[in-house]
Structure 1
Amino acid sequence: MTDAGSTTTFTVNGANPYPIEIGRGLRLDLARHLGQGIAKVLIVHPPTLAAAAAELRESLAGDMQVLLAEVPDAEAGKRVEVAAFCWQIMGQADFTRSDAVIGFGGGAVTDLAGFVAATWLRGVRLVQVPTTLLGMVDAAIGGKTGINTNEGKNLVGSFYAPAAVVIDLDTLTPLGRNDLLAGFGEVVKYGFIAEPEILDIIEADLEAATDPTTGEFRRLVELSVAIKARVVGEDFTEQGLREILNYGHTLGHAIEHAERYQWRHGAAVSIGMMYAAELARLSGRLSDAVVDRHRSILTSLTLPTTYPAGRWETLLATMHRDKKARGSMLRFIVLDDIARPTVLAAPEPSLLFAAYQEIGA
Structure 2
Amino acid sequence: MLVELGARSYEIIIRPGALVGLGAALAGLNPGRRALIVSDTHVAPLWAEKVRENLATAGFNPALVTLPAGEEAKSLGWLAHLYSAAVSAGLERSSPVLALGGGVVGDAAGFLAATYLRGVPFIQVPTTLLAQVDSAVGGKVAVNLPQGKNLVGAFYQPRLVLVDPEVLTTLPEDQFCTALGEVVKYGAILDAAFFAHLEEHLPALLARDPAELSTVIERCLTLKAQVVEEDERETGRRALLNFGHTLGHVLEAASGFTLPHGAAVARGIAVEAELARRLGLLSSEEVQRLQELIGRAGLSTALSPALSWEEARPLLYRDKKVRDGRLIFALPQGLGRGRVVPVPEGAVEQLWRDLV
Is TM (by shorter chain) over 0.5? yes
Question: Which stretches of structure 1, 4 residues or longer, exceed 4 Å deviation after superposition?
Answer: none
On the 8 A contact 1:212/1:218 being kept in 2, the answer is no
**Corresponding letter in the other structure for 1:86:** L
Q: Deviations over 1:158-180 (max 9, x none)?
A: 00010011001111001111110
1:338 to 332, 335, 338: 335
2:133 to 131, 137, 142: 137
Question: 1:252 — aligned with what?
Answer: 248
Q: d(CA) in 2 for partners of 1:355 and 1:270?
A: 17
Question: 1:26 — aligned with what?
Answer: 18
Tell me, what secondary structure is at the counterpart of 1:242?
A: helix
Confirm or deny that 1:351 pairs with 2:347: yes
Shift of the 358–205 alpha-carbon distance from structure 1 to 2, 3 Å rule, reads farther
Tell me, what secondary structure is at the counterpart of 2:179?
A: helix
Question: 1:4 — aligned with what?
Answer: none
**Corresponding letter in the other structure for 1:101:** V
On the 8 A contact 1:106/1:131 being kept in 2, the answer is yes
Question: 1:166 — aligned with what?
Answer: 162
1:92 to 88, 91, 98: 88
How do 1:42-53 residues align onto structure 2 when only pairs under 5 Å count? Answer: 42-51=36-45, 52-53=47-48
Q: d(CA) in 2 for partners of 1:190 and 1:205?
A: 15
Q: d(CA) in 1 for partners of 2:337 and 2:198?
A: 20
Offset of 1:303 from its aligned partner? 1.0
How do 1:1-361 residues align onto structure 2 when only pairs under 5 Å count? Answer: 10-15=1-6, 16-31=8-23, 32-34=25-27, 35-51=29-45, 52-62=47-57, 63-308=59-304, 309-345=306-342, 347-360=343-356
Tell me, what secondary structure is at the counterpart of 1:142?
A: coil
**Corresponding letter in the other structure for 2:271:** Y
On the 8 A contact 2:165/2:210 being kept in 1, the answer is no
Identity across matched positions, percent:
37
Q: d(CA) in 1 for partners of 2:355 and 2:294?
A: 13
Tell me, what secondary structure is at the counterpart of 1:138?
A: helix
**Corresponding letter in the other structure for 1:340:** R
Q: d(CA) in 2 for partners of 1:50 and 1:37?
A: 23
Q: d(CA) in 2 for partners of 1:337 and 1:294?
A: 11
- Comparing 302-311 with 276-285, which one deviates more in the overlay? 302-311
Q: d(CA) in 1 for partners of 2:347 and 2:38?
A: 44
On the 8 A contact 1:169/1:212 being kept in 2, the answer is no
Q: d(CA) in 2 for partners of 1:33 and 1:152?
A: 35
On the 8 A contact 1:137/1:224 being kept in 2, the answer is yes
Tell me, what secondary structure is at the counterpart of 1:90?
A: helix
- Comparing 202-211 with 75-84, which one deviates more in the overlay? 202-211
Q: d(CA) in 2 for partners of 1:123 and 1:333?
A: 31
Offset of 1:358 from its aligned partner? 4.7
Q: d(CA) in 2 for partners of 1:318 and 1:186?
A: 21
Unaligned runs of at least 5 residues, structure 1: 1-9
Q: d(CA) in 2 for partners of 1:172 and 1:230?
A: 25
Q: Deviations over 1:294-313 (max 9, x none)?
A: 11111111111112454322
Q: Deviations over 1:231-273 (max 9, x none)?
A: 0111111111101000010110111111111111111111111
Q: d(CA) in 1 for partners of 2:354 and 2:250?
A: 17
Offset of 1:37 from its aligned partner? 4.6
Q: d(CA) in 1 for partners of 2:214 and 2:18?
A: 15
Q: d(CA) in 2 for partners of 1:37 and 1:331?
A: 41
Offset of 1:92 from its aligned partner? 2.4
- Comparing 204-213 with 114-123, which one deviates more in the overlay? 204-213
Shift of the 196–214 alpha-carbon distance from structure 1 to 2, 3 Å rule, reads farther
Unaligned runs of at least 5 residues, structure 2: none
Q: d(CA) in 1 for partners of 2:162 and 2:60?
A: 20
Question: 1:3 — aligned with what?
Answer: none
Shift of the 172–90 alpha-carbon distance from structure 1 to 2, 3 Å rule, reads same
Q: d(CA) in 2 for partners of 1:85 and 1:199?
A: 41
Tell me, what secondary structure is at the counterpart of 1:94?
A: coil
Q: d(CA) in 1 for partners of 2:354 and 2:205?
A: 29
Q: d(CA) in 1 for partners of 2:145 and 2:181?
A: 24
- Comparing 62-71 with 199-208, which one deviates more in the overlay? 199-208
